[in-house]
Amino acid sequence: MSFYDDPESVKKYIEMCEGYDGSAIYSVLAKELPKQSSILEFGSGAGLDIEFLKSDYNITGSDLSNEFLRLCEEKHPEIPLLKLDVKKLDIKEKYNCIYSNKVLHHLTEAELQNSLAQQVELLSPGGIIAHSFWLGEESKVIEGLLFTYYGEAHLLDIISRSYKIVTTLKYTEFEEGDSLFVIAQAAK
């Protein structure tokens, strides 16, 4: 059983996220994405970001974890949810934005590049990606989960292979400047 499918692990994760304030990244997103745009969120978890996103956008949530999908459906029954693996995006719908908050760090660099290339195909013309990442220089496995950290320049180089960077926000979640929010537009 994976960490995010174990009810006790999920409970610990939710407790760790209590008090999370995503207002800084939400403000940046609001400047770049018109209200009522469609958003596909990767890794919705228990639905913390959906609380903000659903008030201004037409959001579809997703997760690979059955436990998170169950919790998210309980909390947000009005929101469509997909069981989705960000490594293999087998969906036909198009979205104005693909959003994730600290999800894509669970991928290797090669998997991230592949996922970003697949995301281009899910975007409507003029669509954007809006993803937050941990900054750092190493990768590690914690409780069986991969955490891949990037230097800012290296991460932006990876994203720039398929997208034009629109804006970034370096911010603090736990330690000064440990996070980067990137909005980019498909370069097709």
pLDDT band per the 50, 70, 90 thresholds, residue 13: confident
pLDDT at 143: 83
Please compute the mean of the pLDDT values over residues 20-27 and round it to a whole number: 86
pLDDT at 66 over 90: yes
Query: For residue 2, what are the contacts with CB-CB under 8 A and spacing of at least 6?
Result: 65, 144
Check: pTM over 0.75? Answer yes or no: yes
Distance of CA 36 to the CA centre of its chain: 19
pLDDT at 1: 44
Percent residues over pLDDT 90 in the chain = 79
pLDDT at 93: 96
pLDDT at 107 over 90: yes
Ramachandran quadrant class, 45 (left: phi over 0; alpha: psi -120 to 50; beta: rest): left
Strand order of the β-sheet with 38-42 is 81-83, 58-63, 38-42, 95-101, 123-134, 179-186, 163-171
**With respect to CATH, is domain 3-186 assigned 3.40.50.150?**
yes
For residue 106, the number of C-alpha atoms closer than 13 Å in the C-beta half-sphere is 18
Q: How far apart are CA 170 and CA 173, in angstroms?
A: 10
Q: Tell me the domain boundaries of the chain.
A: 3-186
Percent residues over pLDDT 70 in the chain = 95
pLDDT at 2: 75
